[in-house]
Amino acid sequence: MTAPFWMICRAPQFPHSKTEPTRRYDTEAEARKDAQAMADQTGADFVILTATHTIRPQGSQRSLF
């Protein structure tokens, strides 16, 4: 299983809005701190994302790291 990580992005406002997180955070607290700072600076809502599963092709033994 992949080690947990968190990412932040601007909250989607429309059904087909793109979320484009670019940085991984090692802890939820780190992600929350940066999301709050960005929300305060921009006046926009931000969300914290986390991976729930890694889906690999059948028969694959590859690792992400």
What pLDDT shows up at residue 35? Answer: 97
Instruction: Count CA atoms closer than 13 A to 59's CA, side-chain side.
Output: 0
Residue 2 has pLDDT above 70, yes or no: no
Report domain extents, the chain: 6-50
Predicted pLDDT at 60: 66
The reported pTM is 0.74
Q: Residue 1 to residues 30, 49, 62: CA-CA distances in angstroms?
A: 22, 17, 11
What confidence tens digit (pLDDT) does each residue in 5-57 have?
Answer: 999 999 998 999 888 898 999 999 999 999 999 999 999 999 999 988 888 89
Amino acid at 15: P
Task: Quickly list DSSP for the chain.
Answer: -PPP-EEEEEPP-STT--------BSSHHHHHHHHHHHHHHHS--EEEEE-------TT------
